[in-house]
Structure 1
Amino acid sequence: MSNNPFAPLLGQKQAIDLLTQAVRQNRVAPAYLFAGPDGVGRSLAARCFVELLFSSVMDVRLLPSLQNRLRQGNHPDLLWVQPTYQYQGQRFTAAEAVEKKLKRKAPPLIRLEQIREITQFLGRPPLEAPRNVVVLEEAQTMAESAANALLKTLEEPGQATIILITPSSESVLPTLVSRCQRIPFYRLDTKSLTQVLTQTENQEILQHPAVLSLASGSPGSAIASYEQLQTIPPELLQQLITAPQSHRQALELAKRIDKDLDTEAQLWLVDYLQQSYWEKRHQSGIISQLEKARKYLLVYAQPRLVWECTLLSVYQEFNVHN
């Protein structure tokens, strides 16, 4: 087992250098903003950074125990916060909602009650580590009330470091950004992407160029996209990629999409078809129609009607240019 906590993190040299130097020089900031695309290692970097922080004053023989505890999420000085759904008075993370098969009509949020729990957590000194650490995944999902409450905590964090994980600086309140040191994360080059997918035993994804194009340098997105691909019936996908051959087929495909695929799968399908159609045809009209479909699906319009209109438009666009 490597003594370098950042060993698993590939393709993010600048972030690793900034965080490592902060610990070595004993200049760890009270708050950080880990900003960059989904799936490029921001959460992994946060775990690596926490391990480096906590192990900096620890006997090297205790490192395996620390690594296991951090992996299991049971260290008393670490609080990991994720967006949640509210259901019958209880909060559930996205993973818990899927496991319990809960119906989700709105995206998950970081809620005011969760910020209050952070304040309570930081109200006591660290029990084992040199400082308390709080990690907020998808910080951009904070409601305004939650963001304002967090702002007060950031002004006086005490003996603690708070890490906000977000797609960009623009996706959270400027007042929060101003109190954080920004750590940039970037999309991976082809070599690093291949290495990550191979090391995580996802090398079969490398045989799917459309998925790799869709992922655009994000291993996490590539894995999620490939998993979603497995849920789409191959025959249905093939008929959609070749485009409807008649008005009747367009309507039949729309009916089948509505019947067989949930909203998440339909949104992924929009992305996949945009990528596929653009590579084949370079017709901006088709891409625009699919973009409209995404917007309607996101506001919970009737999916079958959305796909009927979209696929009829795709059929017409293909025939106009044939």
Structure 2
Amino acid sequence: MTAFAKLIGQQQAVELLTQAVKQNRVAPAYLFVGSEGVGRSLAARCFANLLFSHSVETNRLRQENHPDLFWVQPTYQYQGQRLTPQEAAEKKLKRKAPPIIRLEQIREVTQFLSRPPILAPRNVVVLEQAETMAEAAANALLKTLEEPGQATLILIAPSVESVLPTLVSRCQRIPFYRLDAVSLAQVLRQTGHEEILQHEAVLSIASGSPGEAIASFEQLQVIPNKLLQAVTTAPKTYLDALKLAKEIDDLDTEAQLWLIDYLQQSYWQRSHQPSIINCLEQARKYLLCYAQPRLVWECTLIAMKN
């Protein structure tokens, strides 16, 4: 179906979803599983348009503000407001902890589903990065999944293991895969990002994910070249490690997490040292657990010291 015309390299997912609609066997909930940036969110929007295709007002089907579509993203808490990553970036906020889907957002989903659809045959709720839900939020969502009413919910996550088993058991899984080199290049050209094809390091980090390639290229522009050059060589002294950790600490969390990916690629290509790769991976885990970033980098760089 033409609803998925822009989705490249995910034939299995397209077939499963289109057949569900053709056979009138749409599930109450789906779990779109796969790496970030391979088309899961685009597929969710395409699927929503397909589900809405019987709406009377067809001219409104593809608008972002369709009254029967509720889209949930992880958010930051800032001065009593919830901000999406894009909104936080526009305000140039320094973010030290990753965004999460909050309990109050799930309550808003419940409120949205408490009324019948307005234009379409059903309501559609999409939860991006469902793996970021805290336990309370996940438990609240579980109640909604048990009785969704006239609705289809789509959870987007990197893996089955990243979501609570009780949620997984109530969803039909739709797998998404990393793209081959030809499909990746096609997506980047179609979206106006052909320049990225000239950056081998970025493509290596992306590993078949157009979204990750674009995000990685954007991060590359943000981090100062001097800092990037400094971190690609292990510090020679403890003082060098401490100074470098201080500079890295000035970056927001997303940039620091990207820097770990970049360093892992860089060190592996040059020296194939598993110990350094593992050390950086441990740093990633600490950052994701809200450890103090400067301390994490101090310990990491000292461990990597020549």
Fold conserved between structures, TM > 0.5: yes
- Tell me which residue corresponds to 1:218: 209
- Tell me which residue corresponds to 1:230: 221
Cα distance in 1 for residues equivalent to 2:231 and 2:93: 29
Structure 1 stretches lacking a partner, 5+ long: 317-322
- 1:279 equivalent to 2:269? Answer yes
CA RMSD of aligned residues (A): 2.3
Contact 2:98 2:253 in 1 (8 A): no
- Tell me which residue corresponds to 1:266: 256
Of 301-310 and 29-38, the range deviating more from structure 2: 301-310
Shift of 1:251: 4.9
How does the TM-score come out when normalised to structure 2? 0.90
Shift of 1:218: 0.8
Of 81-90 and 97-106, the range deviating more from structure 2: 97-106
Contact 2:60 2:66 in 1 (8 A): no
Percent identity, please. Answer: 74
- Tell me which residue corresponds to 1:319: none
Return the letter of the residue paired with 2:25. Answer: R
How has the CA–CA distance of structure 1 residues 155 and 106 changed in structure 2, closer, same or farther, with 3 Å as cutoff? same
Cα distance in 2 for residues equivalent to 1:242 and 1:161: 50
How does the TM-score come out when normalised to structure 1? 0.86
Shift of 1:312: 4.2
Return the letter of the residue paired with 2:256. Answer: Q
Count of residue pairs the alignment pairs up? 306
How has the CA–CA distance of structure 1 residues 123 and 249 changed in structure 2, closer, same or farther, with 3 Å as cutoff? closer
- 1:81 equivalent to 2:72? Answer yes
Cα distance in 2 for residues equivalent to 1:155 and 1:257: 45
Cα distance in 2 for residues equivalent to 1:158 and 1:248: 61
- Tell me which residue corresponds to 1:66: 61
- 1:117 equivalent to 2:117? Answer no
Shift of 1:311: 3.4
1:71-109 Cα distance to aligned partner (Å, 9 max, x none): xx2111111111222333332222222223445443322
SS at match of 2:112: helix
How has the CA–CA distance of structure 1 residues 7 and 115 changed in structure 2, closer, same or farther, with 3 Å as cutoff? same
- Tell me which residue corresponds to 2:155: 164
> Equivalent residues in 2 for 1:123-162 (5 A)?
123-162=114-153
Cα distance in 2 for residues equivalent to 1:155 and 1:255: 48
- 1:257 equivalent to 2:248? Answer yes
Return the letter of the residue paired with 2:200. Answer: P
SS at match of 1:276: helix
SS at match of 1:5: helix
Structure 2 stretches lacking a partner, 5+ long: none
Contact 2:38 2:179 in 1 (8 A): yes
